[in-house]
Amino acid sequence: MRDDGVPQPFLVAFPMEDGSQQVMLDPGFFAGLDEVGDFLGELAKQYGRAFVQSGRARDMEDALEQIREMFLIELETPDDGDEDA
């Protein structure tokens, strides 16, 4: 991680024309995989709250269940051929 006093993004995501997402990460941002797990859990909760507040989910339980289901499906999906992403 660059330390020149200017905050640098560690995660950049772009929507692609085909509806997928292109995500680029700085692997040096987290010290270990446990920190990645903490981050993903916090991110899920933030998105869950946003979806509840916007009326796109009934409640946090509903929002987190939907996120959890799709997360597990994505983890179990074979690699999409994007080995160097």
In the chain, the domains with their CATH numbers are 11-76 (3.30.2370)
pLDDT at 3: 62
Q: Is the Cβ–Cβ distance between 8 and 1 less than 8 Å?
A: yes
Beta-bridged to residue 15, according to DSSP, are 21
List, as one string, the DSSP characters of 6-73.
S---SEEEEE-TTS-EEEEE-TTSSSSHHHHHHHHHHHHHHHHHHHHHTTSSSSHHHHHHHHHHHHHH
pLDDT at 27: 86
pLDDT at 33: 92
Taking the chain (85 residues) in runs of 10, the rounded mean pLDDT of each run is: 74 92 89 92 97 97 97 86 52
Q: DSSP letter at 78?
A: P
pLDDT at 85: 46
Burial class (CB in 10 A: 0-12, 13-18, 19+), 39: middle
pLDDT at 80: 63
pTM for this predicted structure:
0.72
